[in-house]
């Protein structure tokens, strides 16, 4: 079986160390741990890497488009790789979860997350897996958009690296063990 991991984030150095790029950070962690390297693809603005997990081929993708425009690129890669939407795992930041909390789910609404909205439009369905990496709500009255797009403070860099690692663990558990077993294992951890 083949899987596509869509590491949601925004391209470029300006966004590389923001909370909104946690999905891309998880994708990078999976690639690093798998001993693979991202490579550019022709005709689609996406970098790809391939690893294997539990005997399955796992294609890891990181878009060159902004998150709210990335859905069609991920859908195009899935089609070229012969991967159905039900074998797509979107990895993304989640404001509505405490920082460092990991939650897995299948399907559902986008909940205001523009990256998920774009994926739903690109695939024409809500039926794909999600690895939700909690970032918590902004302090005080800070605008959530500013909060997710500001650089991660130095004091939180080590924590964010742990969150990305936990996201990678969640992706591997989802592929190896299935949704329910992975939820049972990981939902108590966060």
Q: Are 21 and 166 in contact (CB under 8 A)?
A: no
Beta strands in 65-141 (DSSP E): 88-94, 102-106, 129-134
pLDDT of 125 above 80: yes
Using alpha carbons, list the distances in angstroms from residue 80 to 44, 131, 183.
Answer: 10, 23, 30
Residues 6+ apart with CB under 8 A from 55: none
Structure confidence at residue 112 as a pLDDT band (50, 70, 90)? confident
Mean local confidence (pLDDT), 3-20: 95
Flag whether pLDDT at 181 surpasses 90. Answer: yes
Dihedral Cα 156, 159, 165, 168, nearest 10 deg? -70
- 66-110, pLDDT tens digit by residue? 999 999 999 999 999 999 999 999 999 999 999 999 999 999 999
What gap in Å lies between CA 171 and CA 22, rounded to an integer?
A: 13
In the chain, the number of structural domains is 1
Read off the pLDDT band of 165 (50, 70, 90).
very high
Give me the mean pLDDT over the 105-123 stretch: 94
What is the domain extent for residue 121? 2-186
The catalytic site residues sit at 20
* Prediction pTM value: 0.96
The mean pLDDT of the chain is 95
Tell me the mean pLDDT in the region 160-182: 97
Counting residues of the chain whose pLDDT is more than 70, the rounded percentage is: 99
% of residues, the chain, pLDDT over 90: 94
Mean pLDDT in residue range 157-163: 95
- Taking residues 5-22, what's their average pLDDT? 95
CATH code assigned at 23: 3.40.50.1470
pLDDT at 177: 96
Q: For residue 189, what pLDDT is reported?
A: 54
Residue 154 three-state SS:
helix
């Amino acid at each position: 079986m083949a899987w596509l991991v869509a590491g949601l984030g925004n391209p470029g150095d300006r966004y590389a160390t923001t909370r909104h790029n946690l999905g891309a950070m998880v994708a990078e962690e999976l690639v690093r741990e798998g001993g693979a390297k991202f490579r550019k693809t022709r005709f689609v603005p996406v970098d790809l890497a391939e690893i294997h997990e539990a005997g399955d081929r796992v294609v890891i993708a990181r878009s060159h488009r902004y998150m709210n425009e990335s859905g069609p690129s991920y859908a195009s890669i899935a089609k070229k790789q012969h991967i159905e939407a039900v074998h797509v795992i979107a990895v993304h930041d989640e404001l509505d979860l405490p920082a460092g909390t990991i939650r897995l789910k299948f399907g559902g609404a986008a909940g205001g997350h523009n990256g998920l909205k774009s994926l739903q439009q690109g695939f024409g369905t809500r039926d794909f897996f999600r690895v939700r990496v909690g970032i918590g709500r902004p302090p005080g009255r800070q605008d959530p958009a500013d909060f997710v797009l500001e650089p991660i403070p130095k004091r939180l860099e080590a924590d964010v690296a742990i969150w990305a690692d936990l996201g990678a663990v969640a992706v591997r558990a989802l592929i190896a063990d299935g949704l329910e077993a992975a939820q049972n294992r990981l939902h108590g951890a966060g």
